[in-house]
Structure 1
Amino acid sequence: MQQNVSRRKFVRSTVAGTVAGCAQTESEGTADGNSTSTDGNGTSTEEEPSVPEDASVSLSVPIADELSGLYSPCMAFFEAENFTVEEAGNVNEGAGHFHVLIDTGQVEAGETIPNDDQHLHFGDGSKQGVLDLEPGDHELTLQMGDGEHTALALTDTQSVTVEGSASINLDAPQDGDMFSTEETITFEPVVENFLIEEAGEVTQNAGHHHLLVNTDPVDTGIVIPSDDQHLHFGDGTKMPEVDASELGTGDHEVIIQVANGAHEAYPLATEPITITIEE
């Protein structure tokens, strides 16, 4: 899943050693596990992190068969060959995690990959991610980074065209509606350019409904919890129902939010409304 964390700054400490009167090139270790070399003038130069010669990565952003094109938010899928995908944290040889770069060039190997709207980190080891793209043409680059988000020379690039955006609105209930505890409340969301299906398999431009009660929408790419404030409708129903008694008496702010088959949140939610439950 995409990590929604504040930008982390890694200080790379380089230990450079020279021997007076020595003209040949020397190599020494660095505090972060990379090596440096000195040229004939005693200047330290850091070597690029190495990757296995037969390693490769691939990025896929398919188009749903049921739709006329690609719509945002959409799913990107990642694969790595002869390279270990793992969580961020420790730096291990031949291992790292995925990053998706949006409309920007790949990061030079050995540099720290930024964490911003154009550089999405998947430091939990995810092999898929939610992308929220504006309509139009985009160049997406998949780039591996090591456990400290240091860029590796292991990339794949794909151009995509986003036809438009998916949308969701709520026809019923309406803001201010009142219900008794003996009633069943039927939610009638209307979605466009998006497919409602059962949870389980993650497919393009598709997912299922969740009812959020007295809480904010879940951040993009984060798994929606399953509790009294986050009700899942993983059976793929298009009109979720809930017994008013389950919500309890009083005023409740409710939102319908959509997530993919793995319950990873899309930035696709109805405007909040307030309903009242009475005895």
Structure 2
Amino acid sequence: MQQDVSRRGFIVGTATGVAAASVAGCTQSESDETEENGSTDDNGSAADEPSVPEDASVSLSVPTADELDGLYTPLVAFFEAENFTVEEAGEVNEGAGHFHVLIDTEQIEPGETIPNDDQHLHFGDGSERGVLDLEPGEHELTLQMGNGEHVALSLTDTQSVTVDGAGEIGLDAPQDGATFSTGETITFEPSVENVVLEEAGEVTQNAGHHHVLIDTDPVDTGTVIPTDDQHLHFGDGTETPEVDASDLEVGEHDVLVQVANGVHEAYPLATDPITITVEE
């Protein structure tokens, strides 16, 4: 049965330490261009099925709830290709392409363009894993390879998953409107459910660490959280991040806490922003 998949979206995470929303998947404009250039013939009918190596295959891997003693969203899905080259979208090369995850929908007929929407997730940066934000319940996930112009290939793999619940985060302290003097320590006390806090380094299902964001918006799901003065990482797995008020300019600041996985790929778990004031 098809499920509601309209949580906060599904954005690809990158396997490197540098990412941006623009490479977190294929944009809709890319998909539209492909429909014009890559998937139909002059009469508007589906193009011939692109050929793939006979020994090529793909596989999708998401731990089951039984393996984890409960599976909670957001979750990380892993992709693998055998005898097939995984590369960024753009050029069409023989025996090469990129991954797509289809959620609670039929696979795309080979030769047709893969849509770009909440049920058809493009991993056009060549990623081999992605952060998925699913509604609790049963879902059917299909991994399908597409070529450089997002034309569907016959390489697919399907896995059914049951999501038991969702990660949650709130902020118990500081309170909105709190004032701190230069030299004070600002202690953040997030309340987290269904996510294990652990040190950065490895991608573990249902686990991650805190980041404090200052005067900036939450990072898109799956995108690597930058390391700078506005994005403070707490990769030691602490439950209560601390920030020295002296490190902030005097005045008002909007702050929030966001959780990311072991390689800093953002989860859609972010507290509502609060305003604090630093004074001399």
The AA in structure 2 aligned to 1:6 is Q
Alpha carbons 1:178, 1:275 under 8 Å: kept: yes
Change (3 A) 1:233 1:65: farther
Alpha carbons 1:254, 1:275 under 8 Å: kept: yes
Matched, 1:159 2:136: no
1-structure distance, mates of 2:118, 2:260: 20
Alpha carbons 1:196, 1:236 under 8 Å: kept: yes
Matched, 1:135 2:157: no
Change (3 A) 1:65 1:190: farther
1-structure distance, mates of 2:176, 2:97: 47
Larger Cα-atom Rg: 1
The structural deviation recorded for 1:113 is 0.6
The structural deviation recorded for 1:4 is 6.8
1-structure distance, mates of 2:259, 2:179: 25
Matching residue of 2:101: 100
Alpha carbons 1:59, 1:79 under 8 Å: kept: yes
Identity percentage of aligned residues? 74
Matching residue of 2:56: 55
The AA in structure 1 aligned to 2:112 is E
1:248-263 paired onto structure 2 within 5 Å: 248-263=249-264
Alpha carbons 2:110, 2:151 under 8 Å: kept: yes
Name the TM-score, length of structure 1 as normaliser.
Answer: 0.86
Deviations 1:60-110 (A, max 9, x none): 111588953111111101111111111111111111111000000001101
Matching residue of 2:222: 221
1:9 to 26, 32, 41: 32
Change (3 A) 1:275 1:168: same
2-structure distance, mates of 1:11, 1:74: 29
- Tell me, which stretches of 5 or more residues in structure 1 are unaligned? 14-30, 37-43
2-structure distance, mates of 1:125, 1:238: 33
The AA in structure 1 aligned to 2:220 is D
Alpha carbons 2:34, 2:149 under 8 Å: kept: no
Matching residue of 1:85: 86
Higher helix proportion (structure 1 or 2): 2
The AA in structure 2 aligned to 1:219 is D
Greater Cα shift, 151-160 or 197-206: 197-206
The AA in structure 2 aligned to 1:220 is T
Structure 1 residue matching 2:93: 3-state secondary structure: coil
Name the TM-score, length of structure 2 as normaliser.
Answer: 0.86
The AA in structure 2 aligned to 1:159 is S
Alpha carbons 2:198, 2:237 under 8 Å: kept: yes
Alpha carbons 2:35, 2:113 under 8 Å: kept: no
Matched, 1:207 2:230: no
Structure 1 residue matching 2:27: 3-state secondary structure: coil
2-structure distance, mates of 1:58, 1:171: 42
The AA in structure 2 aligned to 1:54 is D
Structure 2 residue matching 1:10: 3-state secondary structure: helix
1:118-197 paired onto structure 2 within 5 Å: 118-197=119-198
The AA in structure 2 aligned to 1:243 is D
Change (3 A) 1:213 1:63: farther
Higher relative contact order (CA 8 A, sep 6+): 2
- Tell me, which stretches of 5 or more residues in structure 2 are unaligned? 1-12, 14-23
1-structure distance, mates of 2:77, 2:40: 34
Greater Cα shift, 234-243 or 150-159: 234-243
Structure 1 residue matching 2:114: 3-state secondary structure: coil
The structural deviation recorded for 1:10 is 2.8
1-structure distance, mates of 2:65, 2:240: 22
Greater Cα shift, 145-154 or 230-239: 230-239
The structural deviation recorded for 1:226 is 1.0
The structural deviation recorded for 1:138 is 0.3
The AA in structure 2 aligned to 1:98 is F
The structural deviation recorded for 1:5 is 3.0
Change (3 A) 1:45 1:209: closer
The structural deviation recorded for 1:46 is 3.6
The AA in structure 2 aligned to 1:5 is T
